[in-house]
Amino acid sequence: MTNIGNNIKKLRKVRGLSQQAFADLFNLSRGNISSYEELRAEPKIETIMIIANYFGIPLQSLIQENLSVNQILNFSDYFEPAIVTNSTKKLAGIPLLTREVMMNNTDLLKQIEGAPQLQLPIQSKHKFLAIEFSELIAAPLELEVKEQSILIFEGIEMEYLHLLHNNLGLFLSEEEVFVGKYEQNGEQISLILSSWKKSLFSLSDIRYYWKLYGKFEKV
């Protein structure tokens, strides 16, 4: 028995994807995903290879290991050119806020529109934002990210608010930026940096909140 079913379920939940949304990425049905996650069936090796390359996870790890959240959140350069070239997946342009931009500008929201873009193999209708991490950004120790790493954040969508709990996220407004962990208490959601710094989520300010999608750093 492999770990592919459990890993697919974990991948889907960490990425905030429903079974149908995950299935759509790989031309599968929701029933296929359900059967994999319930360990009633396993995908064909060709499908496993495509999933592994889409998420930048070594094939052997996806099949055999019990993947951690940290592994899933880390981008890598594992994509095999043959599989990527033959896929129908398009590259998404993601605005990048560099260290220099964050150091020299007070209204960072205005910089997103004209920012240089990263081209990454992401298929999603959601918004994404990339940030070059530095000491200028306050972040919890558990983030475990190196200087000059690129953090990829996904815009918050209303239908996925229930999946934010315990996920790392970004607060980015005209005057403030920090990384924290989402905590849900009843209907109240907060993005918490520390015991003395947090931001209470509200739908009216949803554009200020992002969820960590992945990170890219030199090995």
pLDDT tens column, 63-77 = 888 888 777 776 554
CATH number at residue 141: 2.10.109.10
Beta-carbon neighbour count of residue 14 at 10 Å? 22
Q: Identify whether residues 172 and 206 lie together within a single domain.
A: yes
Supply the pLDDT for residue 155. 93
Identify whether 87 is part of a domain. Answer: no
Q: Which residues of the chain have pLDDT under 70?
A: 1, 74-90, 105-106, 218-219
Supply the pLDDT for residue 206. 94
Supply the pLDDT for residue 45. 85
Q: Identify whether residues 105 and 205 lie together within a single domain.
A: yes
Cβ distance 201 to 186 under 8 Å?
A: no
Give dist(CA 127, CA 106) in Å, integer.
Answer: 22
Supply the pLDDT for residue 90. 63
Supply the pLDDT for residue 81. 44
Supply the pLDDT for residue 218. 66
CATH number at residue 24: 1.10.260.40
Range of the structural domain that residue 32 is part of: 4-77
Name every residue whose Cβ is closer than 8 Å to that of residue 186 and which is 6 or more positions away in sequence. none
Q: Tell me which DSSP letter residue 218 carries.
A: -
- The number of distinct structural domains making up the chain is 2
Task: Kindly write down the DSSP assignment for every residue of 35-97, as one continuous string.
Answer: HHHTTS----HHHHHHHHHHTT--HHHHHHS---HHHHHB--S---HHHHHHS-PPPEEEEEE
Q: Identify whether residues 108 and 202 lie together within a single domain.
A: yes
Identify whether 149 is part of a domain. Answer: yes
Supply the pLDDT for residue 80. 46
